[in-house]
Structure 1
Amino acid sequence: MHKTFYILFLSTFFLAAKAQNTDTVKQQRFNFHFQQTVVTQTHPGFSAKYSGDNSLSPNHETASSLTATLFGGARLWKGAQAYFNTEMSGGSGFSQTLGVAGFPNGETFRVGAAEPKIYIARAYLTQRFSWGTEQDTLSDDNNQLAGLQSRRYFSITAGKFGMADFFDTNAFSHDPRTQFLNWSLMSNPAWDYPANTRGYVFGIYTDYHQPSWDLRFALTMVTNTANGSVWDGKIGKANAQTLEFEKRYTFAGNKQGSFRILTFNNNAKMGDYRLAIAQNPTAPDVVSTRDYGRNKLGFGINADQFMTRDFGVFAKASYNDGRYETWAFTEIDRSISFGGVLAGTSWKRAKDEIGLAFVGNGLSGPHRDYLAAGGYGFIIGDGALNYSPEMIAELYYKLNAYKNSFWLTPDYQFILHPAYNIDRGPVNVFSIRAHVEF
């Protein structure tokens, strides 16, 4: 009952807020937005020679997730903006969100409980220092105030946010609420980006912005355990640095494109895969080897390109050294993906779109040997491993069901070698996503 009341209250409040913000203004002083996404997925039974504690169940499963977010923004003094988001999430993924490195529902979290919870998702302040006369016009959007913005500025952001808010974006493959659902198609999956269990982090983010390029850097906290919710206070030993360069351009006259190069270095009290095997060859436990002084290095490449006004393509590749345990995102040490999205203009449904993508995920040698010896991570572990890259294909059709505010998206995913195991699968995942925003 309290969930229904909460959602109805928010809907009424934000419809009223939207009505108060429909006037065109040069510099919007405040805004309010709301989104709700419900995803229901099912997979039939599949073949599995064996299963472990972290395996995807080979039996038929159905699972649902729900998120609802309130977005609030305010313009303070010159160049300063503040944003505050509250969020509710509930439900779970298949098998308690275990058993697939590229998990099929990007709206699920590894929280251990399906009951809906309300929490603060974002609370941050941005100060922008601008120069030059060239300006862009920004629209009213989630965590974005409408108005004019200089095309040259330096900004500093501090507080709680999601790394994916600012880094590794992509026009066609980034948001599981409106685009592809799979974890591997959100952010570059070998980027073990710093976050708590629900995907948010405390830190400082800077952006040097020019008309055709950006240079971004973030220094953030990390949690004190893998997939944890408690922040490690020993910031000198436990922290993450992320650096990204983005270049924007036009192709063949007017076709927009961009590419990004990201590097990262995560420091945390991580476990060592090789040491865990050496200590216990038949039942290694990476948790028992955790210590400070461990770091994870890696990079990601990310590009998107409009080929026509209605059709765009993307490609991504990422890598981390994979010596130490996965800390925040998912157990992927190498990944490559590509795909395309087509708007429905040619069949007179311009706001609809169809997307198709392919993913190949892999593990480092130490990570692979650890799982083969019977070890467990926080996402995968079948008790044994007959290794092969995890291969995923995803196809969706997003239907604009009501005035650019309500979308229905049937989705199909084919997962070959779930958790990198030839002895399990393949898995067919059928989904339906309902998304509303205003």
Structure 2
Amino acid sequence: MKKLYSSKLAKTLKKHFFFLVFLLFLSELKAQSPFTFHFQQTIVSQSKPKLNAPYTGTNSLIPQRETQYSITSTLFAGAKLWKGGEAYFNPELSGGSGLSGAKGIAGFTNGEAFRVGDAAPKIYLARLYLKQTFALSNESEDVEEGVNQVVTKDPKKYLRVVLGKFCLSDFFDKNAYSHDPRTQFLNWSLMSHGAWDYAANVRGYTSGYVVEYGSATFGARFSTTAVPTSANGPYLNYNFAKNYSHSAEIDKTFGQSGKETTIRLLGYFTKTYMGSYSEAIKRTDKDITQTRIDGRTKKGFGLNIEQKLNDNAGLFFRTSWNDGKNETWAFTEIDRSISLGFSNAGNKWKRPKDTFGVAILANGLSTEHRNYLANGGYGFIIGDGKLNYGLEKIFETYYAIHLYSHHFWVTPNYQFVVNPAYNKDRGPVHVFTLRAHAEF
């Protein structure tokens, strides 16, 4: 089976070879204002040994030994249009699978894996958006060219509007040490707030707008975006009269230079065609999809703290909560989450582009969500058929090894999962990962 999958992946990659070469060619162009071109490719191989599992349900992590692979390739293209106006376009290719089809662990172990069912690599539009910045001060600062960023001058105080297709985490819940599964921690609960059921299709993208105010030490942003037509589904619902998600965040930076503290507080509210956990329990078949009606809501908040220790190292802390009364709709089945971690660049051992990270986290469920799973219900990520509830506890550590120029890293990663899918009857799980990441 493993050989068959590898052969299928290889054939599909060969089919898209010229597309990948084209992306690489564009990424190697020297970035000249008013344009920017960048490219990334990330390949993740994850393995787990056999695990203890007295019973297994439809959405369980399979108990047998397993190895899976994922790949993503992204072109980041942008252009300066007029004063304050910019446009960005990101075609993306992704393929492969997470362990057990990216099911069986709420804080899933591979942030580059999607629950799409088909492992064959596919090309799709990830981002296409306009960004307009309005100056609120005469002072400005230079902004270097980078990923989805043209060379420009940003006013020190500004109002910014973004309109189009993007990922909400491009603008919300940022953290210097725990945000990007391509270069940092891989666990879903560490790349964003675990209990933030942020609006997105199955690949993590949505459409809508973001309005942002920014200054040197304070920022505020608000968005309205489309939710999927079904739980964790591939298509977005553009009937904004009945289906939408609002997110709002403020951030404040303070402290002495080189040891700054940044605090971010996020809140969200989603309204759409969701099912109810308490109503599903009353049904003989426990099918939550049969309880869906218009107008159901989900709300929650998250606290994100980033503490810079020096130019090379920092700490981070996140905690998040949602009401958990209605079904998880977009991200993953977490209603409470808390995490703490540390990141350190390798300057002290003369490896300045290496990074070491270590983190611990715990995820939990609302009473309604917990009872639903214990009575034989299934979500789209987890469900063992029954449940001996316990907090899902995860440890993750990685070391990103810089190998060539500024372009290439290989990262060994280890995760230890206690009570996968909140079930004390199953596990624990050891997950061993090797990630290769290139960027140009």
TM-score tier by shorter-chain length is over 0.9
- Is there any run of 5+ residues in structure 2 with no aligned partner, and where? 1-13
Which residue identity does 1:148 align to in structure 2? K
Give unmatched runs, 5+ long, in structure 1: 22-27
Partner of 2:106: 101
Question: In the alignment, what sits opposite 1:89?
Answer: 94
Which of 50, 64, 68 is residue 45 of structure 1 equivalent to?
A: 50
Question: Could you tell me how far apart the structure 1 residues matched to 2:142 and 2:320 are?
Answer: 33
Residue 292 of structure 1: aligned partner = 294
- Are residue 11 (structure 1) and residue 62 (structure 2) matched? no
Q: Given the alignment of the two structures, is residue 207 of structure 1 paired with residue 212 of structure 2, yes or no?
A: yes
**Which SS does the other structure have where 2:255 is aligned?**
strand
Describe the SS at the equivalent of 2:227.
coil
Distance 2:24 2:350 in 1: 30
The 2-side partners of 1:10 and 1:231 are apart by 27
Shift of 1:278: 1.5
Work out which of the residue numbers 414, 418, 428 in structure 2 matches 1:426: 428
Give the CA deviation at 1:157: 0.9
SS at match of 1:275: helix
Q: Distance in 2 between matches of 1:84 and 1:13?
A: 13
| Separation (CA, whole Å) in 2 of partners of 1:403 and 1:234 | 48
Cα shift readout 1:215-238 (whole Å, capped 9, x = no counterpart): 100011111110112222331111
Where does 1:187-266 land on structure 2 (aligned, <5 Å)?
187-251=192-256, 253-266=257-270
Q: Distance in 1 between matches of 2:213 and 2:383?
A: 42
Query: What code does the residue aligned with 1:429 have?
Result: V
Q: CA deviation at 1:127?
A: 1.2
For 1:354, the equivalent position in structure 2 comes to 356
Residue pairs, 1:53-132, within 5 angstroms: 53-132=58-137
Q: Which amino acid aligns with 2:319?
A: A
Q: Which amino acid aligns with 2:120?
A: E
Equivalent position amino acid for 1:73 in 2: G
2:57–2:383 contact (8 Å) kept in structure 1: yes
TM-score by length of 2: 0.95
1:412 to 411, 414, 418: 414
Query: What is the aligned counterpart of 2:274 among 270, 295, 298?
Result: 270
2: distance between equivalents of 1:355 and 1:14?
28
Write the deviation string for residues 246-271 of structure 1: whole angstroms up to 9, x where unpaired: 112234x4312211000000011000
Q: Residue 2 in 1 paired to residue 15 in 2?
A: yes
**What is residue 167 of structure 2 aligned with on the other side?**
162
CA distance in 1, matches of 2:215, 2:143: 16
> Quick one: distance in 2 between partners of 1:209 and 1:123?
22
- What is the aligned partner in structure 2 of residue 139 from structure 1? 144
Determine the C-alpha separation between the residues in 1 that align with 2:338 and 2:128: 33
Distance (Å, rounded) in 2 between the aligned partners of 1:301 and 1:353: 25
CA distance in 2, matches of 1:250, 1:402: 36
User: Residues of 2 paired with 1:175 and 1:234: CA distance?
Assistant: 31
Secondary structure, counterpart of 2:332 in structure 1: coil
Residue 133 of structure 2 aligns to a residue whose secondary structure is strand
Counting matched residue pairs gives 427
Offset of residue 374 of structure 1: 0.4
Deviation readout 1:390-433 (Å, 9 max, x if unpaired): 00000000011111210110000000000000000000000000
Deviations 1:340-384 (A, max 9, x none): 001111111111110000010000000000000000000000000
Moved more, 416-425 or 4-13: 4-13
Q: State the identity as a percent.
A: 50
Which secondary structure state, in structure 2, belongs to the residue aligned with residue 76 of structure 1? strand
- Counterpart for residue 341 of structure 1: 343
Give yes or no for contact 2:126–2:205 (8 Å, CA) kept in 1: yes
Letter of the aligned partner of 1:94 in structure 2? L
Structure 2: distance between partners of 1:63 and 1:260: 35
Q: Confirm whether residue 324 of structure 1 aligns to residue 326 of structure 2.
A: yes
* Amino acid in structure 2 at the alignment position of 1:154: L
Give, in angstroms, the shift of residue 245 of structure 1: 0.2
SS at match of 2:142: strand
Amino acid in structure 2 at the alignment position of 1:266: T
In 2: Cα distance, 1:373 partner to 1:275 partner: 12
Runs in 1 of length 4+ with deviation above 4 angstroms? Answer: none
Secondary structure at 2:132's aligned position in 1?
Answer: strand
